[in-house]
Every structure is written in structure tokens, then in C-alpha cells.
């Protein structure tokens, strides 16, 4: 009897797992199809992911229910995204973000919360409800904005760095805002709210200290025992353990799991393996990120939006204009040029996914009605739908504002900027492999002062050798296109592949050719039989090692044969 019951329970659990897998399959398939349609019309695929979630969610076809395991799995997407972003930003680089990240971010959250609460007070809401709505709209979407800026290679631009700094402060502010709204719902006094916020700050500090200890005293020893060429899968496993483990640790402390993942990424950012790990987890991150945006779309109710179009559109427009104005003003206070300040305001004008979480807490605590909650969720989704277009238009609109308010100079003209950009983009030569062949190539490049040289090698000792010669060098696998893009492939005049393995050389040639037809690819062919294969893959010039070896041997043989024998 007991064994039969166990079999029934096991079968039930098994069927639930397959049901979740089926829902994941349907959601990913819908995101793929709708995302392809949007990409076909030169729109961001993120909009397609949101729309797929909205159609398959409870509001329309109800293929995926609210209590399924899909949203929980999708939360890992945010953690993996911020973990990957953390790999880009070491502690030193984060400090370079300056006051905008700290003071500017705090001003943005406070002013947005205050202005939104003031507007709600004028519409008749109570003060606690108004503050809860203000906390909901104060945050922007870290996942959406960083994904789009990264795709457009604008993460390291002026408005990209400004946006990143404010977004990081917003992620830190998630916990205090959640506690703040929770305290409002529990009728707690300001003293209790202050105690809760102080506790959250203490937990964040404890988490940071723990991660610093781990990164300084534990990880370096583990890294030294690994070789990128030999232990590639172990590095990926280490990255996943750190990403998910840090998220679990942060969640256990009632902190933002995404914040914990970002801190873990920053730990690894100091290591030479950071860029390679970020490239290796790229495929896994894409799956989780797609699920995340689709799960956010599931919160929307198209029927309710269709029944209340004017309030939704008016609220959406007010949010976009209000946040853009506040962020632009703050950026100007920090003496950013108007075009960059305005571009930052446009990029961060949306309401983030964590705002929906805070809105849900406010609704469950009785601070806001169901109608207001639906209005906030609907407006949030519309701002997220608009974000890809806003990010695309941020730089052109910023320049247009600058042109209208400042006298036009030749240096500011679009044609001059384009000419400057094109000249800057083509001054890099990448050497893949730093054996004897790569070293000879580097000696020739160093003669030309106007050419930047970057060495990429999978062996740490070759990277150290290149750096000792005064060259820029990166440890990683050049067959990974994301890795090459991160290290400036888009501005490379030529890429010279000196590695002997022809299969890896072909993969690199094919990867480069998928991105650019202009980049010259000079590749070493170890054997004559590989020359045609490399040429078909897209190599510009193939150096036939057997041919030149035979040519040199013939010359040496000729010299020996023409010498007079000793008497």
C-alpha cells in the first residue's frame, strides 16, 4: 500500500515537471516566432518576448498560469544578466562612475518618488498610498536597459555609464523601497521604518564584506589551479555556482537576488577569466533572459488595457516625461553636456520590473486598490514596450536637443562625427595566438605608431609574455564571437590568426565574417590541403606554411649545392 502511494506521488510530481517543461517550450517557441517578426521589422526582440508572455498569460489564452514554475525560473534570468554585467565592472571601474552612481542615483529615486507621490495626492489618494505608488515608479529596468545598451555597444558611452551608475543605485534601493512599502502597509511608524532600512543596509554591507573575503583569499588560489585551455568546463561551472549561490545567499538575507549576483560578478571581474566566462555563459543567459521578459509580459491584461485606454496612455506618457525630465536635470547638475544628459533621461524613462513587485506588495497590504494596481502594471508594460525604441532614439534626440540649444560647430556636425568614428574604428590589429609566429607579427606592428595591437591567446604564459613586451593582451578563446566583440572586433582593420589548429582557425574566420566583410583576415595554414578550406571560410590571405617552408628549403639547398667543396 505504502509503495503504491509513493508511486502515485512520484508520478504526480513527474507530471508536474513535464507540465512546466511544456509551458517553457510553448513560451520560448512563441518568444522565438514573435521576436523574429519584430527583428524582421528592425524592432527589438524584447518587445516580442513581452508580447509573447502577455498573449500566453492569464490575461488572454491562459496557457501559463500565475502559480506555475515559469516565473520562478525566469527570475534566474535577471541574476545571470546582472552576474554577466558584474563581470564587466571591476571595483576600480565602478569607482570611475563617480558621483552620478551614488549621489545622482539617490537623487533620482528620491525625486521620482516624491514627484509621483505629489501627483497622486492631487488626484485624491491618501499619503501612504501616494508614497507606495511613488516607490513603484521610482525604479527603471536594469535588465532591459543594460541588455539594449550592451547590444548597441553603448554601455561604455557617456550616457551608458551614467545610466549604469543610476541603475546600480536603484538595484541597491530595491530592498529599502520594499521595506518602506511593507512598513507603510503594516502601519509602522517612521522609527520602525528607519530600523528596517538600517537593518537592510547592514545586511548589504555584510554581504559585500563576505564576497570581498571570498574574492581576495579563496578564488585566486582556485583560479591558479585552472587552465583555460584544459579546464574550460570547470570555469563555467564555477561561474554558475557563484551566480546562483550569490543569488540564494542574498535571498536568504531578504535582499535582492539580482544584487547578490551582480556582486558575485564583480568578484570575478578582477580575474583574467572574466571576459571568457561571460562569453561562455552567454547562451544560457539568453534563455533565462527571454523567459524573464516573457514572464513580465504575463502580468499584463490586454482586455483591461483595451477597456481603459485613456488612463493607461495618460499615465504612461506622464511617467516617461516625468522620469526623463528628472534624470536629465540630475545629469545636468553633475555637469554632463545636455545631449548626454537628455539621452540618459530617455534611456531610463521606463518603470522597471521590480516596480511591479513593489506594486504587488502595496496591493497585498491594502495600500492601493486593484484598479490602481492594474493601471500601474499596464503603464509599466507599455513603458517597457517603448524602451527599445527610446534607447535607439536616445543619441539622435540628444544631439538634436544639443543642436537646438547650442551654436553648431564643425566638430559637432554628424558628418564630422561619422568621419571621426570611422577613423577610430579601423586602427586595431588583432593577433590570435602568440607563439613564435605571432611574436614576429607583433614586432612588425609595433613599428607603426598609429596602429593598436591586441594579442589574444588561450594560454596565460603567452598573454604574460605579450604584456611584458608592452602589448595589450587578453586571455580567452577567439573562436567566441562575443569575446571578439568585447575586445573591439568592430574597429579592427585586420585579424591575424597564427594558431596551428586549422579547425579552430576556420571557426574564427567564420565568426569574423558573420560580422564584417571589411576586416582583413590573414590566417596561417599549417598544411597545403587546408588553404582552400580557409579561403572558402572567408580568409582574405592564407599563408601556406608548407609552401613557404618548401621555398626556404629549396633556397638553402641551392646555396649548399652551389658552394665549392673544400679541397
Predicted confidence at residue 5, as pLDDT, reads 43
Angstrom distance (rounded) from CA 206 to CA 83:
19
Least confident of 26-35, 119-128, 339-348, 412-421: 412-421
Angstrom distance (rounded) from CA 296 to CA 298:
5
Grid coordinates of 128:
501612504
To the question of pTM greater than 0.85 for the whole model, the response is: no
> Which of 306, 268, 389, 369 is closest to 54 using CA atoms?
306
Predicted confidence at residue 478, as pLDDT, reads 86
Predicted confidence at residue 497, as pLDDT, reads 94
227 or 10: which leads in pLDDT:
227
- Report the SS3 class of residue 541: strand
Q: Domain segments of the chain: what residues?
A: 2-405, 425-556
Say if residues 270 and 90 touch (Cβ distance below 8 Å): yes
189 — pLDDT class (breaks 50, 70, 90): low
For the stretch 197-237, pLDDT in tens is 677 778 778 887 887 788 777 777 776 666 655 666 777 78
Residue length, the chain?
567
Is residue 97 pLDDT above 80, yes or no? no
Burial class (CB in 10 A: 0-12, 13-18, 19+), 303: exposed
Mean pLDDT rounded to a whole number for the chain: 80
Report H helices in 406-480.
414-425, 436-445, 460-468
Q: Which residue has the cell 562575443?
A: 482
CATH of 2-405, one of 1.20.1530.20, 2.30.33.40, 3.40.50.720, 3.40.50.300: 1.20.1530.20
Which CATH number applies to 425-556?
A: 3.40.50.720
Average pLDDT over residues 302-312: 92
Grid coordinates of 488:
573591439
Grid coordinates of 310:
485613456
330 — pLDDT class (breaks 50, 70, 90): very high
> Which of 329, 358, 371 is closest to 180 using CA atoms?
358
Predicted confidence at residue 1, as pLDDT, reads 46
Would you give the DSSP letter of residue 62? -
Grid coordinates of 472:
595589450
Average pLDDT over residues 98-111: 82
Amino acid at each position: 500500500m505504502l509503495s503504491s502511494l509513493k508511486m502515485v506521488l512520484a508520478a504526480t510530481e513527474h507530471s508536474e515537471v513535464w507540465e512546466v517543461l511544456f509551458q517553457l517550450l510553448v513560451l520560448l517557441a512563441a518568444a522565438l516566432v514573435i521576436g523574429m517578426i519584430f527583428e524582421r521589422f528592425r524592432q527589438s526582440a524584447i518587445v516580442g518576448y513581452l508580447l509573447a508572455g502577455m498573449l500566453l498569460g492569464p490575461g488572454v489564452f491562459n496557457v501559463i498560469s500565475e502559480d506555475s514554475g515559469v516565473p520562478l525560473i525566469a527570475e534566474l534570468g535577471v541574476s545571470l544578466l546582472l552576474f554577466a554585467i558584474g563581470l564587466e565592472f571591476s571595483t576600480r571601474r565602478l569607482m570611475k562612475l563617480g558621483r552620478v552612481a551614488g549621489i545622482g542615483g539617490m537623487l533620482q529615486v528620491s525625486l521620482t518618488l516624491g514627484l509621483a507621490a505629489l501627483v497622486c495626492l492631487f488626484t485624491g489618494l491618501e499619503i501612504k498610498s501616494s508614497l507606495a505608488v511613488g516607490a513603484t515608479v521610482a525604479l527603471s529596468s536594469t535588465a532591459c536597459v543594460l541588455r539594449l545598451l550592451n547590444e548597441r555597444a553603448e554601455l561604455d558611452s557617456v550616457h551608458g555609464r551614467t545610466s549604469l551608475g543610476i541603475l546600480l543605485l536603484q538595484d541597491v534601493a530595491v530592498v529599502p523601497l520594499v521595506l518602506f512599502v511593507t512598513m507603510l502597509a503594516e502601519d509602522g511608524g517612521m522609527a520602525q521604518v528607519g530600523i528596517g532600512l538600517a537593518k537592510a543596509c547592514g545586511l548589504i554591507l555584510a554581504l559585500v564584506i563576505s564576497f570581498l573575503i571570498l574574492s581576495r583569499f579563496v578564488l585566486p588560489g582556485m583560479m591558479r589551479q585552472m587552465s583555460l585551455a584544459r579546464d574550460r568546463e570547470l570555469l563555467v561551472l564555477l561561474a554558475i555556482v557563484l551566480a546562483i549561490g550569490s543569488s540564494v545567499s542574498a535571498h536568504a538575507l531578504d535582499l535582492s537576488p539580482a544584487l547578490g549576483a551582480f556582486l558575485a560578478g564583480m568578484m570575478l571581474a578582477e580575474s583574467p577569466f572574466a571576459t571568457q566566462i561571460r562569453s561562455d555563459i552567454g547562451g544560457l543567459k539568453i534563455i533565462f533572459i527571454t523567459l524573464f521578459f516573457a514572464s513580465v509580459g504575463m502580468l499584463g491584461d490586454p482586455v483591461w488595457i483595451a477597456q481603459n485606454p485613456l488612463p493607461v496612455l495618460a499615465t504612461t506618457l506622464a511617467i516617461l516625461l516625468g522620469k526623463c525630465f528628472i534624470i536629465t536635470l540630475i545629469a545636468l547638475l553633475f555637469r554632463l553636456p545636455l545631449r548626454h544628459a537628455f539621452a540618459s533621461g530617455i534611456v531610463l524613462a521606463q518603470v522597471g520590473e521590480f516596480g511591479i513587485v513593489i506594486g504587488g506588495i502595496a496591493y497585498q497590504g491594502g495600500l492601493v486598490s486593484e484598479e490602481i494596481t492594474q493601471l500601474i502594471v499596464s503603464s509599466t508594460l507599455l513603458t517597457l514596450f517603448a524602451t527599445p525604441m527610446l534607447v535607439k532614439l536616445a543619441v539622435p534626440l540628444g544631439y538634436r536637443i544639443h543642436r537646438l540649444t547650442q551654436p553648431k560647430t564643425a566638430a559637432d556636425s554628424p558628418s564630422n562625427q561619422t568621419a571621426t568614428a570611422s577613423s577610430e574604428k579601423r586602427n586595431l590589429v588583432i593577433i590570435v595566438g602568440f607563439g613564435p609566429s605571432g611574436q614576429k607579427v607583433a614586432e612588425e606592428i609595433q613599428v607603426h605608431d598609429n596602429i593598436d595591437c591586441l594579442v589574444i591567446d588561450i594560454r596565460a604564459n603567452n598573454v604574460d609574455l605579450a604584456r611584458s613586451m608592452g602589448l595589450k593582451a587578453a586571455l580567452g578563446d577567439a573562436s567566441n564571437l562575443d569575446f571578439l566583440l568585447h575586445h573591439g572586433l568592430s574597429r579592427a582593420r585586420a585579424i591575424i590568426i597564427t594558431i596551428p589548429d586549422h579547425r579552430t582557425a576556420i571557426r574564427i574566420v567564420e565568426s569574423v565574417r558573420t560580422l564584417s566583410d571589411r576586416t582583413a583576415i590573414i590566417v596561417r595554414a599549417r598544411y597545403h590541403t587546408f588553404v582552400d578550406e580557409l579561403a572558402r571560410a572567408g580568409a582574405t590571405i592564407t599563408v601556406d606554411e608548407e609552401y613557404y617552408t618548401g621555398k626556404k628549403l629549396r633556397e638553402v639547398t641551392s646555396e649548399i649545392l652551389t658552394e665549392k667543396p673544400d679541397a
